[in-house]
A = this chain, B = another copy of it.
Amino acid sequence: MVDSKLDTLQYISTPHMIEGYELIENKLNLVERLLLDVQPDQHSLITDAAQELIKAGGKRIRAAICLLSAGIFEADPEISLALAAGIEMLHTATLVHDDIIDESVIRRGKPTLNAKRDPKLSVLIGDYFFARAANLVAETDNLDIMKQFSATLMTILNGEVDQQFTRWQLDRQGYTKRIYAKTGAMFVLAAKSAAILGDATPQEILALENYGHFTGIAFQVVDDILDFTSEQTRLGKPVGGDLREGIFTLPVLLYADRYPQDPDLKLLLKVQDGNHPAVGRLINSIRRSGIIDDALGEAKELVSRGQLALTELPQSQFTEALYSMGNTVVERVT
């Protein structure tokens, strides 16, 4: 019965599903143009890499959150676009470097830059995107936002270093911290910086910070669920990839809580080898256990907390669209 659910899984570009998408559709297209914008003197290899990475798609959920949050407070439209593009560019930069770290060969269903070119070039291209991201965010002419930007990048990288050295560990608290660093922090940046740009009150800024926080970590939990439930063709990358790397995400942690004596789990904790046949068996056990529903329940709870934060904000079509965005985060797996 649980298995049959797998057939209905979908991995959909989230912003297109939200109610009120028309509020930001044109703006997202303009963000796309900014992301592809060629800077004076930009090396053709950087332009090629940018074209390839940007055109490969991505959900642009961070840009959507930024634009919707900016919409609530009628923040300057042009500057909102630069901010949204800066945040997406920051996200792209982290993906480029992530792929070096993970030695990924597939991302978004396509070969990574890393696989197609010298990984050393990917280091420089990722760096350039960081610089361009900072450059776009600087167009806000807002110091608070610039500070938020660099602090967010520090949080993300701290989390990444941490992830490299906490493999094969059943650590729920560590997981929560890691997914905040990995995804929550950038969702917070998207929502909060737009509120700052729109001269929101401290209470409103905090509300959007909370919305970004809970929606972001819910999004990561769902990503971690999809890593178990999707088929490779839909996921766009190998299934169970985190577990193979010794990175324990929510489904593994919940499964270990319920079945601490599972022999495959115990074996893997001992041998710490992602190529061991026990990995495949454990993935199947997790898929069949009903744990996925529990994990999804946690994601829904997180989404609700994010949506609750929205009640502190002026009600508008933009606020409703952010509410709807929360739903789509969990609808990715239902």
Contact = CB atoms under 8 A, between A and B. Distances in A.
Interface of A: 39, 41-43, 45-46, 97, 100-101, 103, 120-121, 123-128, 130-132, 134-135, 138, 141, 143, 146-147, 149-151, 153-158, 160-162, 164-165
B97 A123 contact: yes
Nearest to A94: B127
Contacts of A147: 135, 138
Contacts of A157: 46, 124, 127-128, 131
A125 B161 contact: yes
Nearest to A101: B120
Given A128-B154, A138-B150, 19 more contacts: A41-B155, A43-B158, A45-B161, A100-B123, A123-B123, A123-B126, A127-B127, A127-B160, A128-B157, A128-B161, A130-B130, A130-B153, A131-B153, A131-B156, A131-B157, A135-B147, A138-B143, A138-B146, A141-B143
In the complex, the 8 A-B pairs of residues with the closest C-beta atoms, listed nearest first = A131-B153, A134-B150, A128-B157, A135-B150, A131-B154, A43-B161, A138-B147, A101-B120
Contacts of A45: 161, 165
Nearest to A121: B164
A120 to B, nearest CB: 5
A180 to B, nearest CB: 11
A123 to B, nearest CB: 5
Contacts of A138: 143, 146-147, 150
Contacts of A158: 41-43, 46, 128
A305 to B, nearest CB: 23
A118 B26 CA distance: 44
Nearest to A157: B128
A165 B164 CA distance: 31
Contacts of A149: 134
A138 B128 CA distance: 19
Contact of A120 (B100, B135, B141): B100
A161 B121 contact: yes
Contacts of A97: 123-124, 127
A286 to B, nearest CB: 28
A46 B153 CA distance: 14
A135 B154 CA distance: 9
Nearest to A45: B161
Contacts of A155: 41
Contacts of A121: 161, 164
15 contacts: A39-B154, A41-B158, A43-B165, A46-B158, A100-B123, A101-B120, A103-B120, A120-B164, A125-B161, A127-B130, A131-B154, A132-B154, A135-B151, A138-B146, A138-B150
Nearest to A46: B161
A119 to B, nearest CB: 9
A101 B128 CA distance: 14
A151 to B, nearest CB: 6
